[in-house]
Amino acid sequence: MAKAFHRRIAADGMAVRALLDEMRDWLSQVGLDDASCGKIEIALAEALNNVVEHAYAGTPGAIRMEMTHTEGDLQVTLRDKGAALPRLRPPAGHPPALHDERDALPEGGFGWFLIRNLTRGLHYAHDAGENRLTLVFDLEHRTDPAP
Amino acid sequence: MMKLEVTSHDTVSIVTAPGPRIDAAAAIRFKEAMRAATSDGPDHVVLDLSQVRFVDSSGLGAIVAAMKQMGAGRRLDLAGLAPDVAKVFRLTRMDTVFVIHEDAEASLRRAAG
């Protein structure tokens, strides 16, 4: 039986934090272990920050989250009415190279890499002025040993 | 302004980050607070993250920036990484860039030799 978590927030950093806290509590209540909650929270923090910083570029707007949990599978769709992704697709997410030289170390550019690394699948559409990004997560069954 | 607790020992100072998150909403304040906390004191600084349960890529960038702004010849280690924080450092391979201690006490024992 599917369980759902739906929320609508303002696109700002503090609202994102509150949403992540609430979402994490819900995931824990539906029975996910800490490692699964952690990977979902990391990926969603990155996706939500992208909406705040890039889709809305810091201007006011709303973000809708629809999360559905079924046995072994979790899907989250984020919707916003901000700018579309360049080329209408999520970036490949190659992680920035780490250099030996301290001064050359990257301070950003890890967001899409983390999202892709932590999800089984990613779907994006821009339709009628709305961005729709769906993240699909694999869930380990509770009987599996922790990695 | 974010205020970081600093305890100075002989050759090492421990800077304790307040929790629970170093994230996009806090990254700039954190970087500025680190600049103030490390502008003087020992060359070797350990950032105690034991009160932090979550760091996103913006927070990670701020920690890297904090190390860079300390300048040549100085060292920023990390201590007390929670599982989700350690995961972000591991996935981005930033765990190969910083010396990571189990906790602040372990970093002091190592510094004492």
Give the gap in angstroms from C-alpha A54 to the nearest C-alpha of chain B.
13
What does the domain layout of chain B look like in residue ranges?
Answer: 26-44+57-76
Domains and CATH numbers, chain A: 3-138 (3.30.565.10)
Report residue A141's pLDDT band, with 50, 70 and 90 as the boundaries: low
pLDDT over 70 percentage in chain B: 100
ipTM: 0.95
Average pLDDT, chain A: 93
Report residue B10's pLDDT band, with 50, 70 and 90 as the boundaries: confident
- Distance separating alpha carbons of residues B102 and A37, to the nearest angstrom: 23
Q: For testing the chain B interface, which of A36, A40, A41, A107 should be mutated: the one with the most B CBs within 10 Å?
A: A107
- Distance separating alpha carbons of residues A18 and A75, to the nearest angstrom: 20
Cβ–Cβ contact A45 with B under 8 A: yes
* Residue entry with tokens 């920036």: B65
Contact B32, B38 (CB under 8 A): no
Q: In the predicted model, is pLDDT for residue A57 greater than 60?
A: yes
Cis omega (within 30 of 0) for bond into B20? yes
* Minimum CA–CA partner of A36 in chain B: B84
CA nearest B60: which of A96, A72, A17, A125? A96
Query: Model confidence over A61-108: pLDDT tens digits?
Result: 999 999 999 988 899 999 999 999 999 999 999 999 998 889 999 999
Q: In the predicted model, is pLDDT for residue B8 greater than 80?
A: yes
Average pLDDT, chain B: 95
Cβ–Cβ contact A56 with B under 8 A: no
